[in-house]
Amino acid sequence: MKQMKIIKRSGQEVAFDISKIENAIRKASNAVDPIDALSEDRIRLIAKEVAGVCEARDRAMTVEEIQDVVENKIMELGSRVIAKKYIVYRYQRQLVRKANTTDAAILSLIECNNEDVKQENSNKNPSINSVQRDYMAGEVSKDVASRLLLPADVVQAHREGIIHFHDMDYYAQHMHNCDLVNLEDMLQNGTVISGTMIEKPRSFSTACNIATQIIAQVASNQYGGQSISLTHLAPFVEVSRQAIRQALKEECSFAGVEMSVEAFDAIVEKRVRKEIQKGVQTIQYQVVTLMTTNGQAPFVTVYMYLGEARNAQERNDLAIIIEEVLNERIRGVKNEQGVFVTPAFPKLIYVLEEQNVREGSPYWYLTELAARCTAKRMVPDYISEKKMREYKLSKGETAGHGDTYTCMGCRSFLTPDRSGNGYGNVANAGNYEPGKPKYYGRFNQGVVTINLVDVALSAHGDMKLFWDVFGERCELCHKALRCRHERLLGTPSDAAPILWQYGALARLKKGDKIDKLLYGGYSTISLGYAGLWECVFAMTGKKLTEPEGEAFGLEVMQKLNEYTAKWKAAEDIDYSLYGTPLESTTYKFAKCLQKRFGVIKGVTDKNYITNSYHIHVTEKIDAFKKLEIESKFQRLSPGGAISYVEVPNMQDNIPAVLSIMQYIYENIMYAELNTKSDYCQVCGYDGEIQIVRDESGKLIWKCPKCGNTDESKLNVARRTCGYIGSQFWNQGRTQEIKERVLHVS
Q: Which one of the listed residues 61, 410, 483, 557 is annotated catalytic?
A: 410
Rounded Cα gap, residues 322 and 366, in angstroms: 8
Q: Cis bond leading into 346, ω under 30°? A: yes
Angle at 440 between CA 369 and CA 418, to 5 degrees: 115
Rounded Cα gap, residues 117 and 173, in angstroms: 20
Q: Which one of the listed residues 563, 575, 578, 723 is annotated catalytic?
A: 578
CA 41 to chain centre: 50
What count of residues does the chain have? 745
Q: Could you tell me which residues are beta bridge partners of residue 717?
A: 677
Q: Which one of the listed residues 115, 323, 353, 583 is annotated catalytic?
A: 583
685 is catalytic: no
> Do 736 and 639 form a contact (C-beta atoms < 8 A)?
no
130 is catalytic: no
Q: Which one of the listed residues 114, 227, 412, 612 is annotated catalytic?
A: 412
578 is catalytic: yes
> Do 616 and 603 form a contact (C-beta atoms < 8 A)?
no
> Do 22 and 47 form a contact (C-beta atoms < 8 A)?
yes
Q: Which one of the listed residues 4, 61, 168, 178 is annotated catalytic?
A: 178
178 is catalytic: yes
Check residue 229 and report its DSSP letter: E
Q: Which one of the listed residues 54, 208, 304, 408 is annotated catalytic?
A: 408
Q: Which one of the listed residues 122, 146, 177, 631 is annotated catalytic?
A: 177
Q: Which one of the listed residues 444, 576, 612, 715 is annotated catalytic?
A: 444
> Do 712 and 21 form a contact (C-beta atoms < 8 A)?
no
Three-state SS annotation for 342-398: CCCCCEEEEEECCCCCCCCCCCHHHHHHHHHHHHHHCCCEEEEHHHHHHHCCCCCCC
410 is catalytic: yes
* Encoded amino acid at 603, one letter: V
722 is catalytic: yes
Rounded Cα gap, residues 107 and 116, in angstroms: 14
3-state secondary structure of 243: helix
Rounded Cα gap, residues 9 and 713, in angstroms: 29
Q: Which one of the listed residues 722, 725, 730, 732 is annotated catalytic?
A: 722
- Bridge pairing between strands 670-674 and 643-646: parallel
412 is catalytic: yes
- Bridge pairing between strands 178-180 and 443-451: antiparallel
Active site residues: 177-178, 408, 410, 412, 444, 578, 583, 722
